Amino acid sequence: MKIYIVLLLIALTSAAEWKIKTNKDWDEIEDTCFERHKNLVEQRGNSKSKDLTKPEFELVLCVFREGEVWSDSKGFSTDRLMMVMDTVATRDNINKKFLRDSLENCADDNSEGSSPLDWGYRYYKCFKDNEVLYETMRKARFIQPDVVGKQ
């Protein structure tokens, strides 16, 4: 029983230590990833599609990694995504339970052992299929409109 309490305290401490990023933080993170993936930025700039291809998603995954919202071993952090989307949900009167349930519905444990890119892209397609969730995430600055195209 003590081990479960210790693990719970560690999990709560880890979630509490992460801070929501400022616009400046996200800009720096995006600049780092844009520099790292120049070819994808150029490729995306020439695309007319609103949807990201799997190779283009590598740029977005970089932003999520650098923002400490994605882990190659654990996937997306639902708690961190919810922390960032909280302000948008409150402002736009979006049901937070609906958002959390939607995020959890998209989650999988990657039991088939896909690459982080394949695994992350599965999440992206699930997020994209849920218009309210996807728009809330976009407004929370997870995906800048000039990277993925005006929608």
Amino acid 43: pLDDT = 67
User: How far apart are alpha carbons 120 and 129 in whole angstroms?
Assistant: 14
User: What pLDDT, on the 0 to 100 scale, is given for residue 139?
Assistant: 84
User: What per-residue confidence (pLDDT) applies to 50?
Assistant: 72
Cα atoms found within 13 Å of the Cα of residue 62, Cβ hemisphere only = 21
Q: What is the pLDDT of residue 141?
A: 57
pLDDT at 149: 40
Q: Whole-angstrom Cα distance, residue 13 to residue 2?
A: 16
List the pLDDT tens digit at each of the 151 positions of the chain.
444 343 333 444 445 588 888 878 888 998 998 898 887 766 666 666 678 888 888 988 998 999 999 999 999 999 999 998 988 899 899 999 999 999 999 999 999 999 999 999 999 999 999 999 999 988 885 544 344 443 3
> What's the CATH class of domain 19-148?
mainly alpha
Which residue carries 């600055």 as its tokens? Answer: 141
Supply the pLDDT for residue 49.
67
- What confidence score (pLDDT) does residue 117 get? 96
User: Domain residue spans in the chain?
Assistant: 19-148
DSSP secondary structure letters along 77-128: -HHHHHHHHHHHHHHTT--HHHHHHHHHHH----TT---HHHHHHHHHHHHH
Parallel, antiparallel or unpaired: strands 75-76 and 70-71:
antiparallel
CB neighbours of residue 47 within 10 Å:
14
Dihedral angle computed from the Cα positions of residues 70, 71, 75 and 76, in that order, rounded to the nearest 10 degrees: -30
Contact 59, 96 (CB under 8 A): no
